[in-house]
Every structure is written in structure tokens, then in C-alpha cells.
Amino acid sequence: MDSAIPLHLRTTRTRHKRVPDDYQPPYPSFVARHKPSVSRVVMAYFGVQYRGAPPAVATHALTWIGERFGAGDAPSHWDRAQYVDQAGYANVISVAYWDDVASFDRWFVSARDGWLGDHRAGEGCGFFIEVIRPSVDTYETLFSSLGRPEGIAVLADDMSGEVQEHAYWGGMRDRIPLSQTSEMAPQGTVRVVRDGSRIRVLAPDNLCLIRSGQDWSDTESGERAMYLDDVEPVLRDGMDFLRDEGTAIGCYANRYVDVVAADGGKTEKSYGMSWWKSLAALERWAESHPTHVRIFGAAMKYLSTLGPAAKLRLYHEVTVVRADEQYFEYLNCHRQTGLLNAADLGTESAG
């Protein structure tokens, strides 16, 4: 049985994991393994926001950034997703991943200006950028099956064998290498710096991001019906709760999005992506909110029964981010967009 924490990131513990050394999970799960030379990665979300049908500005912007993702210092992987948010706006989000920060830094300067530079101000669409650049000891991944990596795991050198730290409450924390020595407690508050119509958000230390996805494209008949009829509506309830009522429990923002195919068509993949005040706040929601408890219970039962035979693929990536590893910028976006949803826009300071 593997540990989720790779050998080169193991350290003398000052904090214990939640299960004993002889713990045996009831079904297999796997984590992404980077080369030991990778010390830091970049996860960058580029959003465009509009009402109704896509305006030409949005279409052009999406084409433009797609080309940038293929140019010099390009990300190792990117994908695109879309959803209609609580204010009725369509949002298209392109997510890109690097495992070379210097490469990202070179790429980002002109990409940032192109995506939401001053020329965007009068174009009528909202644009945003949400970037984190975490150290490899501050995030974890989890996959219910092998063979189809998603997100940051596409950049990984390999996948682990079956890991021990999963299928119990607290496994998420135990998979993050930094949990060996740190509580990863939040520090500070959400602050806003306004520069005209442009808003930068400065979020607390140890802000937490989860991207949690499902891929039902391989499921058939009974399993497909089970996912679409029984699981997905419950998942959606949980996602809606986080979107609409999350701030009271430390969820700054939640997006439940449909992955878009490379040709712009539909896929049978979705993910929830949410920003949290802390890993602890995410843990509490996951453990106590009826919708997520039902999801977890269903997944436990399902995967315990089917194991590797399950065709439904589940994965997630969870990151705890230091304040100096974050970049949030919003232009012409409504107040419930991303971290703006957690900011008190009446008390921002001038940039």
C-alpha cells in the first residue's frame, strides 16, 4: 500500500495522520506523482462572463487565449468549461497548468494584458483571472481509477499505486504533505484593491481551492442511470448550496461547470470548483452537509462494491495556498463572481 505522500516529501511529523498505520481503505484510489524535481506548479483560471449568447468579444477572447496556450512557454495542459452562474451570466473558464513557474511567469505578462488589459474596459464582457502557484507540498490529488488523468495530474510523471489515505474523513488533509507539520490555518481576511473598474482581491493565507470532477462518459445503462438520476441531482443540490449560501460556512465561491470538448461541443464530464477560507471549512462542509454526506456515502458504497470495475471516474485536486502564491483580478464582473463574492466591496482601498 502506497502513501499518498511521496517519499521525497515525507518529513518528521509533528502532527499525526487520522488513521492508524494498519488502516485498510475499502476500495482503491490513486494519486498523481510528479517528478521529484518539480517543486511548484501553477493552476490558472481565465474566465469570460456575459449574458445570453456569446458576444463576438468573448468568442475572440477564447480563440485568442486558446492560441496563447499553444505558444511559447505554454501550459503543459489546459481544458475549458462553462456554466451559467447565480446572477444569470454565462461564464466560460479556461484552466491551464504549468509545472515550471519561470515558464508561466514569462508567458503570463502578455497573456494577462491580452486577457483583461485596459482595452477590455469598454467591450461589455466581464473578464477574470484566478491564479495560484502552490508548492508541491501544499496540494493533493485523488483518482478513483487509472488511465485518464485530469487537471494537474495530466502533468504528473506517473500515478501512484493504491494509497492508504482515503475513504475516511480527514483523508484529504492527510494526503497533503504539509499536514505532516502544519495545521494550515487561515490568516487574514479578504481584501480588495480597486483600480478603476479593475478589482484585485487579496485573499487570506492558506486559502483553499478544490476542483472535484466526475466523468460518466464510459458508464452504461444501469450505472449511467444511477449517476444521472441518483447521484447528479444530489451533487447539484450541494453545489447550489455552496454557490448560494456558502459564504456563511467559509465557501467564498463555488462553480459547478460542464467541461467543454476541444471542438467546443459537449462532454460527459463536469467539475465543481470552489474557493474556501480554509481547508478546515471545506472539511466541515464535506462532513456535515447532508448533500455531501449523501454523495460520500453513495460513493463509498458504490466504489466498495464495484471497485476497479466502476466506469464512473471521480477525481479531485485540493490545494492550500499561501497569500503570496495567489493572484485574483476581475474586470467588469458582477459582484458575485469568484472571490468578489467574499469581498466587502463597500470598503475597498484604492489601488
Write the DSSP assignment of 96-119 as a string of letters: EEES-HHHHHHHHHHHHHHHHSGG
Element (H, E) at 305: helix 290-306
Per rule CB under 8 A, is residue 234 in the interface with a second copy? no
Per rule CB under 8 A, is residue 64 in the interface with a second copy? no
CA 279 distance to own-chain centroid: 13
Question: To the nearest whole angstrom, how small is the minimum distance from the Cβ of residue 243 to a second copy?
Answer: 20
Q: State residue 320 phi and psi, 5-degree precision.
A: -105, 130
Residue (287 or 344) nearer to a second copy, CB: 287
Strands (E), 17-84: 32-33, 42-50, 77-84
Per rule CB under 8 A, is residue 90 in the interface with a second copy? no
Enzyme catalytic residues? 316
Per rule CB under 8 A, is residue 185 in the interface with a second copy? yes
Residue (156 or 208) nearer to a second copy, CB: 208
Segment interacting with a second copy, rule: CB under 8 A, options 104-112, 222-230, 289-297, 328-336: 289-297
Choose, by CB under 8 A, the member of 293, 322, 323, 334 that binds a second copy.
293
Q: Tell me how many residues contact a second copy (CB under 8 A).
A: 25
Per rule CB under 8 A, is residue 18 in the interface with a second copy? yes
Question: To the nearest whole angstrom, how small is the minimum distance from the Cβ of residue 332 to a second copy?
Answer: 36
Per rule CB under 8 A, is residue 55 in the interface with a second copy? no
Binding map of a second copy across residues 101-130, x = CB under 8 A, - = no contact = ------------------------------
Residue (42 or 295) nearer to a second copy, CB: 295
Residue 196 C-alpha cell reads as 478603476
Per rule CB under 8 A, is residue 247 in the interface with a second copy? no
Choose, by CB under 8 A, the member of 73, 100, 183, 268 that binds a second copy.
183
Burial class (CB in 10 A: 0-12, 13-18, 19+), 248: exposed
How far is the C-alpha of 155 from the C-alpha of 48, rounded, in Å? 25
Q: State residue 237 phi and psi, 5-degree precision.
A: -55, -45
Question: To the nearest whole angstrom, how small is the minimum distance from the Cβ of residue 261 to a second copy?
Answer: 36
Choose, by CB under 8 A, the member of 261, 287, 308, 335 that binds a second copy.
287
How many beta carbons lie within 10 A of that of residue 130, not counting itself?
A: 25
| Cβ 239 vs Cβ 308: under 8 Å | no
Question: To the nearest whole angstrom, how small is the minimum distance from the Cβ of residue 297 to a second copy?
Answer: 5
Per rule CB under 8 A, is residue 297 in the interface with a second copy? yes
Least Cα distance to 141 among 100, 168, 169, 177 occurs for 177
How far is the C-alpha of 4 from the C-alpha of 20, rounded, in Å? 15
Per rule CB under 8 A, is residue 83 in the interface with a second copy? no
Which residues lie closer than 8 Å to 105 by C-beta, 6 or more apart? none
Amino acid in position 306 = L
Question: To the nearest whole angstrom, how small is the minimum distance from the Cβ of residue 327 to a second copy?
Answer: 26
Per rule CB under 8 A, is residue 23 in the interface with a second copy? yes
Per rule CB under 8 A, is residue 169 in the interface with a second copy? yes
Q: State residue 164 phi and psi, 5-degree precision.
A: -80, -35
Least Cα distance to 295 among 248, 226, 245, 246 occurs for 226
| Chain residues that interact with a second copy, rule: CB under 8 A | 15-16, 18-20, 23, 26, 167-170, 183, 185, 278, 280, 284, 287-288, 290, 293-294, 296-297, 300-301
